[in-house]
Structure 1
Amino acid sequence: MPEKNAKTLRWEKSGQFTLEAQQGEEQGDLFICEIVNWLVKDDIASMEFPLFSLAKQKDTKTREYRRGNKTVRIIPSSVGAATVFDKDLLLYIGSQIVEARNKGLMPSRSAKISSIDFLLGTERGDGAGSYERIINMLRRLRGTTIETNIPTGEKKVTQTDGFSMIDTYTVLSGKKGSRKIVDKKTGKSEEVETEKVFSFTVKISEWLYNGLMNFEVLTLDRGYFKLSSPIERRLYEIARKHCGDQPIWKINIDLLAEKIGTSRERFKVRQDIRQAIQADALPQYRVALDPSAAPDDVVFYTRNTAKLSMELIRTNCARWFQTLERYDNVEKWRKQKVLPASVLPANADV
Structure 2
Amino acid sequence: MASHLTTDRYRQKDFFIADIFDVSPKDDLASMEHPLFALKAGDKNPRHYEHNGITVDVYPGSWGLATIHDKDIWIYCISQLVEAMNRDREDVQRTVRFTAYDFLKTTNRRTDGDSYNRMADALNRLQSTTINTSIETENYRERAGFSLVDSWRVIERSPNDNRMVAVEVTLPNWLFRSVRSMKVLTLSPDYFLLRKALDRRVYELARKHCGNQPKWAVSVAVLHKKTGSTSPLKKFRFDLKSLAQSNELPDYRVAYDETTDILTFYARGGKGARAQIGDMLTKTNRSTK
Same fold? TM cut 0.5 = yes
After superposition, the Cα gap between the structure-2 partners of 1:159 and 1:130, relative to the gap in structure 1 and judged at 3 Å, is: closer
Q: RMSD over aligned Cα, in angstroms?
A: 2.1
Instruction: Tell me the equivalent position of 2:202.
Output: 235
Aligned residues between the structures: 278
Distance in 2, matches of 1:138 and 1:154, equals 28
Distance in 1, matches of 2:83 and 2:31, equals 19
Instruction: Tell me the equivalent position of 1:285.
Output: 252
After superposition, the Cα gap between the structure-2 partners of 1:151 and 1:244, relative to the gap in structure 1 and judged at 3 Å, is: same
Instruction: Tell me the equivalent position of 1:310.
Output: 274
Query: Match for 2:50 among 66, 71, 84?
Result: 66
Name the SS for the 2:113 alignment partner: coil
Distance in 1, matches of 2:8 and 2:254, equals 50
What are the residue-to-residue correspondences of 1:201-220 with 2, within 5 Å? Answer: 201-220=168-187
Q: Is the 8 A contact 2:100 2:116 kept in 1?
A: no
**Structure 1 residue 161: Cα displacement:** 3.5
Deviations 1:1-57 (A, max 9, x none): xxxxxxxxxxxxxxxxxxxx95168x54321101111011100000000111111x3
Deviations 1:125-172 (A, max 9, x none): 1012123112101100000001111111133xx553310121111113
Higher relative contact order, structure no. (Cα contacts within 8 Å, ≥ 6 residues apart)? 2
Instruction: Tell me the equivalent position of 1:169.
Output: 152
Distance in 2, matches of 1:264 and 1:119, equals 29
Instruction: Tell me the equivalent position of 1:23.
Output: 9
- Higher percent of residues as helix: 2
Deviations 1:188-234 (A, max 9, x none): xxxxxxx4211100110000000000000000010001100101001
What are the residue-to-residue correspondences of 1:183-194 with 2, within 5 Å? Answer: none
TM-score by structure 2 length? Answer: 0.90
Instruction: Tell me the equivalent position of 1:255.
Output: 222
AA paired with 2:57? Answer: R
**Structure 1 residue 92: Cα displacement:** 0.6
Name the SS for the 1:129 alignment partner: helix
After superposition, the Cα gap between the structure-2 partners of 1:222 and 1:22, relative to the gap in structure 1 and judged at 3 Å, is: farther
Instruction: Tell me the equivalent position of 2:23.
Output: 38
Quick check: 229-238 or 102-111, which moved more?
A: 102-111
Distance in 2, matches of 1:225 and 1:322, equals 37
**Structure 1 residue 321: Cα displacement:** 5.9
List structure 1 segments (4+ residues) > 4 angstroms apart after TM superposition: 320-323
What are the residue-to-residue correspondences of 1:1-350 with 2, within 5 Å? Answer: 23=9, 28-55=13-40, 57-106=41-90, 107-155=92-140, 158=141, 160-171=143-154, 172-174=156-158, 176-177=160-161, 195-293=162-260, 296-304=261-269, 306-312=270-276, 316-320=278-282
Distance in 1, matches of 2:185 and 2:143, equals 25
- Structure 2 runs not aligned, ≥5 long: 1-6
Q: Percent identity?
A: 37
Q: Is the 8 A contact 1:113 1:201 kept in 2?
A: yes
Distance in 1, matches of 2:116 and 2:284, equals 49
- Structure 1 runs not aligned, ≥5 long: 1-20, 178-194, 324-350
After superposition, the Cα gap between the structure-2 partners of 1:267 and 1:320, relative to the gap in structure 1 and judged at 3 Å, is: farther
Deviations 1:53-85 (A, max 9, x none): 111x31111011011321101101011111111
TM-score by structure 1 length? Answer: 0.75
Q: Is the 8 A contact 1:130 1:197 kept in 2?
A: no
